[in-house]
Amino acid sequence: MALTVVAAYDVSSDSRRARLAALMQTCGDRIQLSVFVLTIDEDELDVLRDRALAIMDPKEDSLYLLRQCSTCWEGARCVGQAMPPAPVYFWAAL
């Protein structure tokens, strides 16, 4: 089952930051410079965390992975230019 996860990071090195951003973009949408909304399942989240840790320097960098329940996410409010990412629907013909 897909989870909604807010990922926010603070990475001091430009090269590590770029690599981490590219990793996050494989799973979700950027909503701020260092904040992403991910749609990911539990196993993929574990793999993402491990891959992020391989990129980061844990002594200098930080990453928050905040799981959001559907009720909490539906109650999100945006102000100003902020807009939540639009849901992406996939169609399959069987």
For position 61, what pLDDT does the model report?
96
22, part of any domain:
yes
- Domain encompassing residue 58: 2-74
Q: What pTM does this model have?
A: 0.80
Name the domain count of the chain.
1
85, part of any domain:
no
Give the C-alpha separation, 58 to 39, whole Å: 24
91, part of any domain:
no
pLDDT tens profile 32-50: 999 999 989 999 999 999 9
58, part of any domain:
yes
49, part of any domain:
yes
pLDDT tens profile 1-42: 678 899 999 999 999 999 999 999 998 989 899 999 998 999
Q: Percent helix, strand, coil in the chain (nearest 5)? A: 35, 30, 35
Q: What is the CATH number of the domain that holds 60?
A: 3.30.70.240
84, part of any domain:
no
